[in-house]
Amino acid sequence: MSCGGEGESQRVPFSLHMLLFVWLLFAFCCLGLADVSVSGCNKAAVIFVFGDSNSDTGGLTSGLGFPINIPNGRTFFHRSTGRLSDGRLVIDLLCQSLNTNFLTPYLDALSGSTFTNGANFAVVGSSTLPKYVPFSLNIQVMQFQHFKARSLELVTAGTKNMINDEGFRDALYLIDIGQNDLADSFSKNLSYPQVIKKIPTVITEIENAIKSLYNEGGRKFWLHNTGPFGCLPKLIALSQKKDLDSLGCLSSYNSAARLFNEALNHLSQKLRIQLKDATLVYVDIYAIKYDLITNATKYGFSNPLMVCCGYGGPPYNFDVRVTCGQPGYQVCDEGSQYVSWDGIHFTEAANTWIASKILSTAYSTPRIPFSFFCRH
């Protein structure tokens, strides 16, 4: 190039500048794509959660002042946060996959949160029935309606950093409830036919909740079915009739869970037709958890029916008189080897495995990524 004439020597810097410009533009775009690919989102994620203790990030403690003591929270938070686990819940891990903050409980007035990324209405012990009791599903929906109305009032008044109407419309509405309706029915000594007879009413309450949220402008829904609660150590230990399957789980409980899930799946199919401009993803949590319990050793866990934090030793290490965090409890040294944390709830290690399966979309119908709602 240095041997060229004057005209060529003038063109070279121009071409180099153009090449540099194109390269920098390409590099900038790649960096932008890299940032998006980390979370799968290119706008702020807003999530609203409705459910029970599987998703409660502190609502029971905030709403009722109910103490949830250490060792709950010891693994990740190193303190009790109101979560019933040694660390993060599945919803926490799903939020982290989007690079958004953990969801603040709606009832946590002392958090100082402006709830810019949504709110968590799930509370320990919640069910769909009976209605109008703290904190049944329809009460959680009513709390959301109040939350939305107040948020939009503040936005109209000029308050910054609040969720606006577009934020509510583009948000994800995650519903994970029903386990307590079934499990509590068995604990009250209802017969198997009596428990099954309640399923349509529970499904109707979930349908009503989704339609109420739809009428509020929600268009993106994420629906978890219920897990194999017949494999929860607490329920096995307390059951009077131990109709155990080959895994040591309660057959009738899991059968009820499967029938409930069939009805819930049918509901999701119906709503996709009725709510034509909505997206509803149905996630088979039962299949994920049953696989984990069935193949626990394969996935690096020990006995999936043995509790990490409890009392009493084998086979379940669960005693209803000495539960996790209460005087006399015993806790395992290494929670990462356990599936069950306290007899009902899972360890952070198990939750991490479950969240990874949810994010894989292999258990979702339709197979839509969890991040779909925060994409343009």
Counting beta carbons within 10 angstroms of the beta carbon of residue 86, is it exposed (0 to 12), middle (13 to 18) or buried (19 or more)?
buried
HEC string for the chain:
CCCCCHHHHHHHHHHHHHHHHHHHHHHHHHHHHHHHHHHCCCCCCCEEEEECCCCCCCHHHHHHCCCCCCCCCCCCCCCCCCCCCCCCCHHHHHHHHCCCCCCCECCCCCCCCCCCCEEECCCCCCCCCCCCCCCCHHHHHHHHHHHHHHHHHHHHCCCCCCCCHHHHHHCEEEEECCHHHHHHHHHCCCCHHHHHHHHHHHHHHHHHHHHHHHHCCCCEEEEECCCCHHHCHHHHHHCCCCCECCCCCEHHHHHHHHHHHHHHHHHHHHHHHHCCCCEEEEECHHHHHHHHHHCCCCCCCCCCCCECEECCCCCCCCCCCCCCCCCCCEECCCHHHCCECCCCCECHHHHHHHHHHHHCCCCEECCCCHHHHHCC
CB 245 within 8 A of CB 187: no
pTM: 0.89
Domain ranges of the chain: 46-293
Annotated active-site residue 284? The verdict is no
Catalytic residue from among 53, 62, 97, 340: 53
Query: Hey, which CATH number is domain 46-293, 3.90.105.10, 3.20.20.150, 3.40.50.1110, 1.10.287.130?
Result: 3.40.50.1110
| pLDDT tens series, the chain, 376 aa | 333 333 333 333 434 333 333 333 333 333 333 332 346 788 999 999 999 999 999 999 998 888 899 999 999 999 999 999 999 999 999 999 999 999 999 999 777 778 999 999 999 999 999 999 999 999 999 999 999 999 999 999 999 999 999 999 999 999 999 999 999 999 999 999 999 999 999 999 999 999 999 999 999 999 999 999 999 999 999 998 889 999 999 999 999 999 999 999 999 999 999 998 999 999 999 999 999 999 999 999 999 999 999 999 999 999 999 999 999 999 999 999 999 999 999 999 999 999 999 999 999 999 999 999 998 7
Catalytic residue from among 52, 56, 170, 342: 342
Annotated active-site residue 277? The verdict is no
- Which residue is it, tokens 């005693």? 319
Annotated active-site residue 53? The verdict is yes
Catalytic residue from among 62, 92, 185, 345: 345
Q: Find residue 224's DSSP bridge partners.
A: 283
The torsion angles phi and psi of 89, rounded to 5 degrees, stand at: -95, 170
Amino acid at 128: T
Return the closest-CA partner of residue 176 out of 74, 289, 98, 77.
289
* Predicted local confidence at residue 5, as pLDDT: 37
* Predicted local confidence at residue 20, as pLDDT: 35
